[in-house]
């Protein structure tokens, strides 16, 4: 009887354990205000950070991150992308072949890629439009049925779901209203401001247009430099602005 009960218990627990073991996608590096993560249908509040030395909350594939009023969350995904979401935003992290995929259903986000191999990209999937980001600093925003994609630098392409993606040059953007794609336009005024969040203890302020340098300084790098890898060694993650095009192999 005991063996039967133990077998039933193991059979019950194995699917739950398998469900909990999604691959890790990255880490939350900063939380301002209120935010939560939903994982395996359980929602947990993210603790606000005050120092760059605070423990980093892990992000796993299929996690959904949501922010509240006047809040901000920054994530480093797979050493490939710095993702910042502003208030009232909701994103779900997944992964596809050679892609980090961010499903975005509301709010505003900034994406700064950290050096991807030529066949890798960050793909942002909104309800009607998709943006592909590589070696870039880009912004996406959802306002009702209107979706914006703006390119500050690098390689950004966008298009409606199911349609070919077309390039958006630096300094320009594109707006999608429902299933209608607009023409290229100048980058929206003010979209690059307000991404720094609250200063964290131990963080070096390196002001730039969209606050990317400030974030990289907190992670131990700077624009045009490789981030430190495990044990202090440099790896292949290169910051946007590197004159070598955003990717080198690990030395």
Other CB atoms within a 10 A radius of the CB of residue 48 amount to 15
Domains by residue range for the chain, with CATH: 22-186 (2.60.120.1440)
In the chain, the N- to C-terminal Cα span, in Å, equals 59
What is the sign, positive or negative, of the torsion defined by CA atoms of 127, 154, 101, 42?
A: negative
CB contact set of 189 (below 8 Å; sequence gap of 6+): none
pLDDT at position 104, please?
Answer: 98
| Geometric angle at alpha carbon 226, from 222 and 230, rounded to 5° | 115
What stretches of the chain show up as alpha helix (H) in DSSP?
Answer: 2-20, 212-219
| Geometric angle at alpha carbon 173, from 171 and 177, rounded to 5° | 165
pLDDT at position 202, please?
Answer: 62
pLDDT at position 228, please?
Answer: 39
CB-based contact 36:46 (threshold 8 Å): yes
Residuewise pLDDT in 10s, the chain (251 residues): 555 544 444 444 444 444 556 899 999 999 999 999 999 999 999 999 988 788 889 999 999 999 999 999 999 987 778 899 999 999 999 877 778 899 999 999 999 886 666 777 889 999 999 999 988 899 999 999 999 999 999 899 999 999 999 999 999 999 999 999 999 999 999 999 988 877 677 665 544 445 565 565 555 544 444 343 333 333 333 333 333 333 322 33
| Geometric angle at alpha carbon 142, from 140 and 144, rounded to 5° | 165
| DSSP annotation string for 65-96 | EEE-TT-EEEEEETTTEEEEE-TT-EEEEEEE
Phi, psi of 218 (to 5 degrees): -70, -25
pLDDT at position 173, please?
Answer: 98
pLDDT at position 248, please?
Answer: 28
């Amino acid at each position: 009887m005991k063996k039967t009960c133990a077998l039933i218990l193991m059979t019950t627990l194995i699917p739950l354990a398998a469900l909990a073991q999604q691959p890790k996608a990255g880490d939350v590096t900063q939380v301002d205000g209120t935010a939560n993560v939903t994982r395996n249908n359980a929602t947990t509040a993210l603790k606000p950070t005050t120092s760059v030395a605070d423990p980093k909350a892990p992000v796993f594939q299929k996690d959904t991150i949501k922010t509240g009023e006047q809040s901000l969350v920054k994530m480093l995904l797979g050493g490939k992308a710095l993702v910042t979401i502003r208030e009232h935003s909701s994103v779900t992290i997944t992964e596809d072949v050679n892609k980090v995929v961010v499903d975005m259903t509301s709010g505003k986000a900034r994406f700064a890629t950290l050096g991807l191999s030529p066949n890798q990209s960050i793909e942002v999937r909104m309800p009607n439009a998709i943006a592909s980001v590589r070696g870039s600093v880009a912004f996406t925003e959802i306002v009702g049925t209107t979706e914006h994609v703006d390119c500050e630098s690098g390689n950004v392409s966008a298009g409606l779901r199911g349609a070919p993606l077309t390039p958006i040059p630096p300094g320009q953007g594109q707006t999608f209203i429902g299933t209608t794609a607009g023409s290229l336009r100048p980058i929206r005024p003010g979209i690059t401001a307000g991404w720094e969040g609250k200063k964290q203890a131990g963080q070096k302020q390196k002001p730039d247009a969209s606050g990317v340098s400030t974030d990289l300084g907190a992670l131990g790098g700077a624009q045009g430099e490789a981030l430190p890898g495990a044990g202090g060694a440099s790896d292949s993650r290169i910051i946007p602005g590197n004159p070598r095009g955003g990717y080198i192999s690990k030395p």
